[in-house]
Amino acid sequence: MKLEKISKVLVIGAGLMGHGIAEVFALSGYHAILEDISAEMLTKAKIGVEKSLERMLKSGKIDQARRDQILSLVSYSQDLAASAKDADLIIEAVPEVVDLKRSVLQSIGKVAKAGSIIATNTSNISISDLASSVPDPTRFLGMHFFNPPVVMKLVEVIRGEKTSDDVFEGIYALSRELGKTPIKVFRDSAGFVVNRISAPEGLYFSILLDEGIAKPEEVDAFAKSQGLPMGVYELMDYVGIDTVVHSMEYYTETLSKEFSRHRVLSDMMKQNHLGLKTGKGFYNWKDGKADIPQATPTDKVQLMDIFAIDVNEAVRIIEEGVAAPTDIENGVKLGLNRPFGPISVAESLTSSEVGKKLEDIATALKCDYFKPAPSIAEGKLKDAIAVRAPAPVKEPASTEIAPNAQATSTPPPVGTDLIQVRREGSVTFVEFNNGRLNLLNKDMLDSLEKTIAALQQDKESRVVVLRGKSGVFSAGAELSQFFSGGMDFLETDRRGQRIFRSLTELRQVTIAEISGYCLGGGFELAIACDIRIASDAAEMGLPEVTRGLVPGWGGTQRLPRLIGASRAAFMVLTGERVKGIQAMNLGLVWEITSPDTLENRVKTLAQKIATEVAPVSAALAKSLIYKGSEGPILTGLEMEAISMGVLFGTDDIKEGVSAFMQKRKAEFKGK
């Protein structure tokens, strides 16, 4: 399926999710029809879309013309047959009631045009079961947006048993086109990925209630002491106790009978103590806020309990072929708004550590569901989280060449979602793409390491430019990552040092194009480059000592060699930032430009180096500068002499001398 075949989208159900999904499509330029049997719901939906766009207008994200354009792309209907007759994609977004969804899907099937794709926005219900309600199951799948759809980046794209490859890959690509971060759910499973991970957490906290192990306010005080914005039971109140109970009942049928242990929650639902929606749940609610009694954080719950439970469920998902580890990690981070997911935790723990914790939980709560998954029990945790995608990933193929693309005999290094790579002639541009601040975390280090390794093999690239795609080079390391202990933290630090050092060992000349924030680890990455050009608005510095840390990726060693011990000591020990002419006077950067001219100036310099500098000479010169400066000067001078001898036998020196004598531009071949 090709994206250009989708132009009109029909969303069935005008609730919060429905009108949010319609707005998402309109924001990306698609004509979205919102259909509902209730005129009142459609009116509320229209007001909701208008208020959302008004907020964007006031915040400066869109202007008046853009607002009007988006509003014109959303239409409202109570006539399903008329709306569906020319819709390319139909998304069912009615409440999570199986019979209701089946009925709606059957109605859609009767009026949808041939070849249209039908998707369900269900968060739990089996796609394969619902597929029996549509005329062509091969063109049916799950497209699960998260609430609120306009804000949340995650979309779970869920494959049913009969979903075709083209439809699955096409909707995945469409989700990316919408500006979302989709994850692939290869196998239809209860809860898919995000809700599946949180399901055993719900069971854990439900059993704590039933057994009277800790009071809700004590558990919530513990949760908030760990930096969570909302307590566990406060969140249940907010979502709705009835919603939680219905989910537990569904998991009882689909995952394990153990999920039937929700006596307290069931009693609350019977008493209509549903939380926010009725004003009373675990807490009394007023004006959208819970009145939570003051309490001492419980010592009956440990953070590692939750980590182990999450890791266990992630491993089960992998074992069942539901999703790949990377998608599980991204799904939990984006869908549950967490700084890291279970795969990051698993990378820092051993099978025995996780297995022992799970056995202890299973015994204490008398719940077999918490026992270790087979891979953990067999000591194969690391093998499980290292698997590739459970099914082949078929990206849309294309034989077309972009109009201005320059053909090369070898392809440029392949980038990732976090680091995008492209080559223009002999200049390779490496763009960081990890959110607005381009924070450096384990995933970014993985991507950077792979990119540098690929560049080491790329003989056609002569200059590498590092830049931040968002206009920010990098604001530093992501401090919210999970580390199991001091040694884990130490090894991550050593790894960053090795990766940054490998930049100095590249044969290519490296240029850091510095804009916006260039702080901490981002600054250390920049000073590992050969040349730095910055905008006069860029802010550079090492704030680590103000966080209780020290620069750990080479800052305390490279900076003194770059600008001298006294100046480096001031920057490191105060954490103060510098920019503009001060940065150039200190020797941090070679040149300062305006933000508007930075990109063109760096590109011009990179192209000049790529065409005028002999590649072998540049590679040897880099080695002399970095390796020679680490030893006695006599050793460095000897290395210099040896390099001259090596260069004497190259084709490039002959070309360089010949071009000089003939007063023409040299054409170096790197030989």
Helix (H, G, I), strand (E, B) or coil at 118: strand
Residue in the structure block whose two tokens are 């909302």: 230
Q: In this predicted model, what pLDDT tens digit does every residue of 511-562 receive, in sequence order?
A: 999 999 999 999 999 999 999 999 999 999 999 888 888 998 989 989 998 9
What is the rounded distance in angstroms from the CA atom of residue 575 to the CA atom of residue 593? 24
Instruction: Indicate the angle between helix axes 16-27 and 39-59, nearest 10 degrees.
Output: 50
**What is the distance between the alpha carbons of residues 407 and 11, in angstroms, rounded to a whole number?**
43
Mean pLDDT score, 183-210: 94
pLDDT of residue 412: 55
Q: CA-CA distance, 317 to 425, in Å (whole number)?
A: 44
**Any idea which of 33-47, 474-488, 524-538 has the lowest mean pLDDT?**
474-488
- Tokens at residue 42, please? 């459609």
Do 46 and 16 contact (CB within 8 A), yes or no? no
Tell me the per-residue pLDDT of 427-467, one tens digit each, with 9 for 90 and over: 999 999 988 899 998 889 989 999 999 998 888 899 999 99
Single-letter code of the amino acid located at 508 = Q
Whether residue 479 is predicted with pLDDT greater than 80 in this model: the reply is: no
Domains of the chain, start order = 3-185 (3.40.50.720), 194-291 (1.10.1040.10), 303-384 (1.10.1040.10), 419-604 (3.90.226.10), 614-661 (1.10.12.10)
- CA–CA separation, 565 and 542 (whole Å): 15
Predicted structure pTM score: 0.71
What distance in Å separates the CA atoms of residue 507 and residue 615, rounded to the nearest whole number? 8
Is the pLDDT at 290 greater than 80? The verdict is yes
| Upstream peptide bond of 137 is cis (omega within 30 degrees of 0) | no
The mean pLDDT of the chain is 88
Residues designated as active site: 524, 544
Task: Give the Cα separation of 613 and 656 in Å (integer).
Answer: 9
pLDDT confidence of residue 413: 63
Identify the band that residue 647 occupies on the pLDDT scale cut at 50, 70 and 90: low
Q: Provide the token pair at 553.
A: 């990726």
